[in-house]
Amino acid sequence: MSKSAWEIVKLARHPKRMTSRGVIDALISDFVELKGDRLYRDDQAIIGGIGKFNATPVTIIAQEKGITTEEKIYHNFGMPHPEGYHKALRLMRQAEKFNRPILSIIDTPGAYPGIGAEERGQARAIAYNLQQMMDLTVPIIIVVLGEGGSGGALGVGVGDYVCMFENAIYSILSPEGFASIIYRDSTKAEQAANMMKITAQDLLEFGIIEEIIVEGEGLHLEPNVGLNNLKKALTRQFNRLLKMNKTTLLKQRYQKFRDIGVYEERGDEEDEQTED
């Protein structure tokens, strides 16, 4: 029974769907949260810290939406400010210092669109993360847990291996946003979603992600199925990546993103024609 894209969107945003904190509680032992970007304030839309995964110390970066209303407000609905990205990078550099692999969990509707965010350089915060994450000489595994909201997700989404939950979505903008631009009517989100190719299956086919984490009935009904599958995947991939020497690790990570893009390149002779 293959679900329509719109159904997956609704599951990805399901109020009962497990959030990052649930994944951390389930898979990470001795977790200690570390806060603040040392520049401005702590941004709770991103939870950062260190803990153990199968007894190996890892650095965790996780976008947290919160479940209860109070939690949602406390975590700003998972929409990070620039200081959230600064904190993430600080902790990732620290992971590199102590040669710890990094696990980054993505679940955000997008980077926070606010006056303070613009004042503190939201664009540059994301850009700098994109550049610097390519330079971290430790394995980085990205898990797309729920909503992969455009630049806000990608800002902590550069890694060696990207796995995505079956009922998660990862897109350039929300189906509602897309519908309001293309159809001038945001209520046509369902139509947009089915056209935008934002499900895990689409992204696997496009080579953007490496693995889909099967959820069984869904993270909101039987979370353990998804969690176990995730645990197995992470165990396999961390073992593989930790054995790899640093230069190959970085070269492969660069090449993974270097090869993304569908375009045509007309040969030189054709150029003359167009150059009339």
Range 31-50, binding other proteins (CB under 8 A): none
From candidates 35, 182, 217, 246, binder to other proteins by CB under 8 A: 182
Looking at beta carbons only, is 30 or 275 nearer to other proteins?
275
Looking at beta carbons only, is 132 or 228 nearer to other proteins?
132
267 binds other proteins (CB under 8 A): yes
Q: Which residues, in sequence order, are bridge partners of residue 59?
A: 50, 102
Cα 59 from Cα 101, distance rounded (Å): 6
**Rounded to the nearest whole angstrom, what is the least distance from the CB of residue 41 to other proteins in the complex?**
16
155 binds other proteins (CB under 8 A): yes
117 binds other proteins (CB under 8 A): yes
Query: Cα-flanking dihedrals φ and ψ of residue 57, to 5°?
Result: -65, 130
Looking at beta carbons only, is 91 or 193 nearer to other proteins?
193
16 binds other proteins (CB under 8 A): no
181 binds other proteins (CB under 8 A): yes
Q: Kind of pairing, strands 56-63 and 46-53?
A: antiparallel
From candidates 29, 39, 93, 119, binder to other proteins by CB under 8 A: 119
From candidates 99, 113, 137, 252, binder to other proteins by CB under 8 A: 113
Place of tokens 């977790």: 31
Q: Does an H or E element contain 213, and which? A: strand 211-213
Sign, Cα dihedral of 33, 219, 111, 160? positive
265 binds other proteins (CB under 8 A): yes
> CA 205: distance to chain centroid?
18
Sign, Cα dihedral of 200, 55, 18, 142? negative
203 binds other proteins (CB under 8 A): yes
Would you give the end-to-end CA distance of the chain in angstroms?
A: 54
- Side-chain half-sphere of 185: how many Cα atoms within 13 Å? 5
208 binds other proteins (CB under 8 A): yes
77: left (phi over 0), alpha (psi -120 to 50) or beta: left
Cα 202 from Cα 139, distance rounded (Å): 25
From candidates 13, 151, 220, 221, binder to other proteins by CB under 8 A: 151
Sign, Cα dihedral of 226, 85, 46, 24? positive
| Region from 54-62, 149-157, 211-219, 226-234 binding other proteins, contact rule CB under 8 A | 149-157
114 binds other proteins (CB under 8 A): yes
> Could you list the residues that contact other proteins (CB under 8 A)?
111-115, 117-124, 126-128, 130-132, 134-135, 150-151, 154-155, 157-158, 170-173, 178, 181-182, 195-198, 202-203, 206, 208, 254, 257-258, 260-268, 270-271, 274-275
